[in-house]
Amino acid sequence: MAMAPTRPKFLPLADERRRHQRVKVNLLGRYMLADRREFPCQVVDMSPGGMAVIAPVPGTPGERVIAYVDHLGRLEGKIARVFDTGFAMSIAATSRKRDKLAAQLTWLANRQILNLPEDRRHGRFSPRNPLARLVLPNGNNVGCRIIDLSQSGAAVAIAPDLRPAVGSMVTIGKTQGRVVRHIEDGFAIEFTRLQHIDFVEENVTGE
In angstroms, the Cα distances linking 125 to 12, 83, 145, 151, 177 are 48, 43, 14, 10, 18
Range list for CATH 2.40.10.220 in the chain: 13-110
CATH of domain 131-205: 2.40.10
pLDDT at 78: 96
Of the candidate CATH numbers 3.40.50.300, 3.40.50.620, 2.40.50.1020, 2.40.10.220, the domain formed by 13-110 belongs to: 2.40.10.220
The angle subtended at Cα 34 by Cα 30 and Cα 37, nearest 5°, is 50
Express each pLDDT in 45-60 by its tens digit.
888 999 999 998 989 9
Can you tell me the distance from the alpha carbon of 14 to that of 30, in angstroms, rounded to the nearest whole number? 25
Strand partners, 13: none
Q: State residue 11's pLDDT score.
A: 41
Taking the C-alpha atoms of residue 80 and residue 87, their distance in angstroms, rounded to an integer, is 7
Mean of pLDDT values over 190-199: 81
Backbone torsions φ then ψ of 198, nearest 5 degrees: -75, -20
Residue-level pLDDT at 119: 45
Q: For residue 92, how many C-alpha atoms fall within 13 Å in the half-sphere facing its CB?
A: 17
Backbone angles phi, psi at 204, to 5 degrees: -95, -40
Q: What is the average pLDDT value for the chain, to the nearest integer?
A: 81
3-55 pLDDT, tens digit per residue, is 444 444 434 444 444 455 677 777 888 999 999 999 988 888 888 999 999 99
Query: What residues have CB less than 8 Å from 120, skipping those under 6 apart?
Result: none
Residue 92 has pLDDT above 70, yes or no: yes
